[in-house]
Structure 1
Amino acid sequence: MKIQRDRTGGWTRRGLGLAAAGVAVAALLGPGAAWAQGKTSANLAMIGEPQSLDPMASTADLVSIIMQHVYEPLFTFDSHSAVQPMLAAKMPEISADGKKYTIELRKGVKFHNGRELDAEDVVASLKRWVDMTPRGKALAKSITSISAKGPSTVEIELSEPQPALLAHLALPSGFAVIMAKESIANPLVEFIGTGPYKFRERKPDQYVVLVKNDAYSSRGEPADGYAGKREAKIDELRFIPVPNANTRVEGIIAGQYQFADQLPVESYKKVSNASGVNAVLTMPYGFPYIPTNTKQGPMVDPKIRQAFQMALNTEELLLAGFGEPKFFTVTGEHFPKGSPFSSTAGADKYNKADPEGAKKLLAEAKYDGTPIRILNSKQYDFHHRMALMMAEQLKAAGFKVALDVVDWSTLVQRRGDPALWDVYITHSAFMPDPMLSPPQLGDGAPGWWKTPAKDAALAAFNGESDSAKRGPLWGKVQQVIYDEVPYIRVGNFAALSGLSDNMKGYTPMMMPAFWNVELAK
């Protein structure tokens, strides 16, 4: 059996045998068994041990997956990637020049220590976020002040418009969560948030236990993605590190876990055919993409980049990378239908699979046969499989090709030197706002794309604070991407998880969430 939902939004995350795992899980259940008598307790197999429980100290998705149940942000994303209020009472008032955000807070929201949320908590939390997190630090140069204007009003002043500010505040990676100001420390020793679950216990390499917050103050709107109503229907959530992917597969099939995250796609049939288990596909989870070197080498010529784009059969690349169509979608739209940024602009140039047309462009560009160096890594198998397929497609179109296969850390190092590559293969989690990913939209990322057309399109897009107007402006940016080919966005791919039949109400999302989910006793 499978569960699949074509999501319109989303966000990257990341040996025991089964018998040993069973002993370990049985041991884990011992300390909490008496507490859990008559109550529900879910065992959730995660990809590993969280490096921290401080969602500002780490950008690892695993940290956010766990702690999003404990802490909440001012804003979050609904199922269509639109920003919605969470601890904020409503969407902010934004000044006409886009430089001042006035945010009213919900009243009556209490922290886990019983104290009511106020503006000073928000100010202290956001200042910590700006100081500690990569996204906060990147925004810091534009933030003039963060201040309380009364007990339930926060004001953020900017030196220049930042239309993606709310998306940054909503994104659960390097999370802009709101903490009780008296708990703020470096490192955190208390985890006091407002969420539907409270932190109870952590035993490194064994589990993190969260328990139901009986005093939780939920929003009233219907649940929609991460937005709306949240209700803790399971009494205890037990996040268990299980680094071995096959152990997660066998554990969910054996009933040791009620949820198992990030399973190998090769295990899809095995999980689907198992009794009492659902195979859950989250789509889109992410996208592979191929930056081009616009600074040095043959790809500096826009016509050669256009020939490269014309030669590619992206469906074949995705098949090579992921094996079966159920694990990917072939789409030229950078954002799916339902997203405010959904656009077909330029998509007529996607997946052309036209080697003869590419040869004509190469002839017009007077391509001299200099090999196109494809930098890739076997540490991500799907990267390397796509690289092999891409090499054959390029050869058929008249390109000379050289495959440069390295470990991932070497690739990350080499991509910073324009003398060492022409294209490389990477991927990103699906981000709900264009300015969150990929980095090629900014300045200075490997590829070094900077042209007048890019600058003009992005200036118009980033200069508009009205979310309703930003959507159509993204289409103009997407058109420039297809025209100038700073990167190829190959398509979307899915993530596979396992879910027990006993868990009801689970919605596939990029960051698995277990509020509004029930567990049969």
Structure 2
Amino acid sequence: MNLRTIRRGGLKRLLLAGAVGLAALSVSALSAQPVKGGAITVATIGEPPTLDPMISTADLVSILTQHVFETLYTFDAKWNLTPLLAEKLPEISPDGLVYTIALRQGIKFHDGSDMDASDVLASLERWTAAASRGTMASRVIAGIDAPDARTVRITLKQPYAPLTALLAMTNSAAVILPKEKIEPVLKEFVGTGPYQLKARVPDQYIQLTRFDGYRQRAGEPDGYGGARKQYADEIRFVPVANANTRAEAAAAGQFDYVDSLPVEAMGKLEGSRSEAVLLKPFGWPRLVLNTKAGIMSNLAARRAVQLALNEEDMLYAAFGNKDFYKLNGDLYPEGYPWATSLGGKVYNQGDAAGAKKLLDEAGIKDRKIRILTSQQYEFHYKMALVAAEYLKAAGFTVDMQVVDWATLTQRRQNPAVWDIFITHSVFLPEPALIDFPSRDAPGWWDTPRRAQVMDAFNQARTQEERVKRWADVQQAVYDEVPFVKVGDFNALAARSPALQGFTPSAWPYFWNAWKAAARP
């Protein structure tokens, strides 16, 4: 299979135009006077499977619900931890076992009730029982209590360096809910955020309106932290499942922001009513393998998949130009402290004969693989098509199951119905925030080797030691193959020139943003 022939010049010029446009927008946003009022419309990749951010790791859920719910901590513009509903970063005992969290006062929920430590305690108890990140943390938590109405205390069984970062994450999130509203399945979506849920019409829109009782932090906006200013009266999220339809809508200026566009949309945006937003570097797609049931529970079969795949062809099929992707088998790119050079030994092999030999030697007779993917993330689907061809060449029989994203996120919870699914993650400042280390996340990687390397990583007390231990985690990933990284990629979105005060980000947020068109 030869997928590498490309005409580069035109798209490179368009990429440059998009980058220049983004810079111009930034200057415009700084110089424009904020305006209150109006509605910001956002086209998303589809209908969210839930509005409960505790029980989902889907980016789509995070993008919507971060406007409604808040966590104790979040990340600033440099990905440093910063307080949100907490008054300050936690006080940690010298032995690393006790986290004392002072809470902000005067915080109200959307139902008008006041937040206190009893709400935080009840929310964290639900998080540790129901959220994949929470259950991961629960294994080292000895207890959570509230010494008084303004304080929550978490006591650990052993030092656990990622705890504060886990409490800050926007998916599988430790959001704070009114204790009276907490149920195994939420019926009311009541948070403390700058916007509240007004209406949800499935497959049509989710309407959020300004919460007038919101108490923002003092100071200026700073990434996801700092002040969250409420300029727009309303934010309306509209599901647009087809990637090409989103591209056409962006070109026509039908929305203020359009998320997750295919590479081909860059040409449509040139000279259109919207401007390109290129997020670089953005993240890494991967094939998650079901280690719990079916053919992928066999290590030899997983190693055969790893050996068979040609990631370069997968990336080219998905993005079509090297300005949008980079070959990299390591879990982090250069520039991050977590980057290594370990992945090259198993990456981008495309060795069908070697993979078939592994299957034969393991005596695997039934070689059917069920690949679960969605066209709503078009690059997922294109990578799946190429992966299927390489796997067939290695002797696998491929059953491609193409579903909408909401169905995929539900179906992947059931280990009996899939063998591989395709997803992606942004590059996160703390590796423990990636969902794969959790043995409760779909894929269910749970081996003695995983436990050993993750425990050593999580208990390391210095950054130097954590970096060293992270290399051990990565080596375990390459040896046991719970997933296969495809590479690094940049993401394309679009926004209207009228949308001001907006900062491009991994999970786009629309507090601090306003519509220039809303001027009287």
C-alpha change, 1:83 and 1:332, in structure 2 (3 Å) is farther
Q: In the alignment, residue 220 of structure 1 is paired with which amino acid?
A: G
Output one character per residue of 1:171-227: Cα deviation in whole Å (capped at 9) or x when no partner. Answer: 222332223445556776765533233444555534413126475322536513x23
Shift of 1:103: 1.1
Shift of 1:503: 0.9
Q: In the alignment, residue 18 of structure 2 is paired with which amino acid?
A: K
- 2:280 pairs with 1:279: no
Residue equivalent to 2:253: 255
Q: In the alignment, residue 334 of structure 1 is paired with which amino acid?
A: L
Residue equivalent to 1:514: 510
Shift of 1:334: 0.9
C-alpha distance in 2 between matches for 1:414 and 1:178: 24
Aligned to 1:169, which of 162, 167, 183? 167
Residue equivalent to 1:376: 371
- 2:444 pairs with 1:458: no
Residue equivalent to 1:427: 423
Shift of 1:499: 0.7
C-alpha change, 1:366 and 1:191, in structure 2 (3 Å) is closer
- 2:401 pairs with 1:407: yes
- 2:480 pairs with 1:481: no
Shift of 1:154: 0.8
> After superposition, where does 1:247-396 map in structure 2 within 5 Å?
247-270=245-268, 272-282=269-279, 283-289=281-287, 291=289, 313-337=310-334, 339=336, 342-349=338-345, 351=347, 353=349, 375-377=370-372, 379=374, 382=379, 385-386=382-383, 389-390=386-387
Shift of 1:502: 0.8
C-alpha distance in 1 between matches for 2:331 and 2:188: 40
* TM-score normalised to structure 2 length: 0.74
C-alpha distance in 2 between matches for 1:50 and 1:301: 33
C-alpha distance in 1 between matches for 2:21 and 2:97: 38
Contact 2:304 2:358 in 1 (8 A): no
Shift of 1:377: 4.5
Residue equivalent to 1:64: 62
C-alpha distance in 1 between matches for 2:297 and 2:60: 37
Output one character per residue of 1:99-141: Cα deviation in whole Å (capped at 9) or x when no partner. Answer: 3221122345454566654323322322333344344345445
Contact 2:438 2:445 in 1 (8 A): no
C-alpha distance in 2 between matches for 1:301 and 1:133: 27
Local SS of the residue matching 2:64? helix
Shift of 1:500: 0.5
Local SS of the residue matching 2:473? helix
- 2:127 pairs with 1:129: yes
C-alpha distance in 1 between matches for 2:132 and 2:195: 27
Residue equivalent to 1:17: none
Q: In the alignment, residue 320 of structure 2 is paired with which amino acid?
A: G
- 2:215 pairs with 1:216: yes
Local SS of the residue matching 2:225? coil
Shift of 1:318: 1.0
Residue equivalent to 1:157: 155
C-alpha distance in 1 between matches for 2:462 and 2:82: 14
* TM-score normalised to structure 1 length: 0.74
Contact 1:260 1:497 in 2 (8 A): yes
Local SS of the residue matching 1:401? coil
Share of identical aligned residues, percent?
37
Contact 1:332 1:344 in 2 (8 A): no
C-alpha change, 1:515 and 1:314, in structure 2 (3 Å) is same
Contact 2:110 2:196 in 1 (8 A): yes
Segment drifting more, 168-177 vs 48-57: 48-57
C-alpha distance in 2 between matches for 1:52 and 1:363: 43
Output one character per residue of 1:262-318: Cα deviation in whole Å (capped at 9) or x when no partner. Answer: 334443321x2242301223442441236497999899687x977875675422221
Task: Give the RMSD, CA atoms, in angstroms.
Answer: 4.5
Query: Unpaired segments of 5 or more residues in structure 2?
Result: 1-16, 23-34
C-alpha distance in 1 between matches for 2:130 and 2:399: 35
Residue equivalent to 1:33: none
Contact 1:376 1:383 in 2 (8 A): no
C-alpha distance in 2 between matches for 1:42 and 1:401: 50
Output one character per residue of 1:54-108: Cα deviation in whole Å (capped at 9) or x when no partner. Answer: 4446555444322312321001234555433222222222334543221122345
C-alpha distance in 2 between matches for 1:417 and 1:192: 34
Contact 1:146 1:154 in 2 (8 A): yes
Residue equivalent to 1:504: 500
C-alpha distance in 2 between matches for 1:47 and 1:286: 18
C-alpha distance in 2 between matches for 1:49 and 1:352: 34
Aligned to 1:471, which of 462, 467, 472? 467
Local SS of the residue matching 1:509? coil
Q: In the alignment, residue 84 of structure 1 is paired with which amino acid?
A: T
C-alpha distance in 2 between matches for 1:121 and 1:404: 48
Query: Unpaired segments of 5 or more residues in structure 1?
Result: 7-36
Q: In the alignment, residue 197 of structure 1 is paired with which amino acid?
A: Y
Output one character per residue of 1:338-380: Cα deviation in whole Å (capped at 9) or x when no partner. Answer: 545x221414425465869x96x99999969978765435645
Local SS of the residue matching 1:120? helix
C-alpha distance in 1 between matches for 2:341 and 2:284: 20
C-alpha distance in 1 between matches for 2:294 and 2:182: 47
Q: In the alignment, residue 330 of structure 2 is paired with which amino acid?
A: E
Contact 1:449 1:486 in 2 (8 A): no
Shift of 1:494: 4.0
C-alpha change, 1:254 and 1:293, in structure 2 (3 Å) is closer
C-alpha change, 1:339 and 1:169, in structure 2 (3 Å) is farther
C-alpha distance in 2 between matches for 1:247 and 1:108: 44
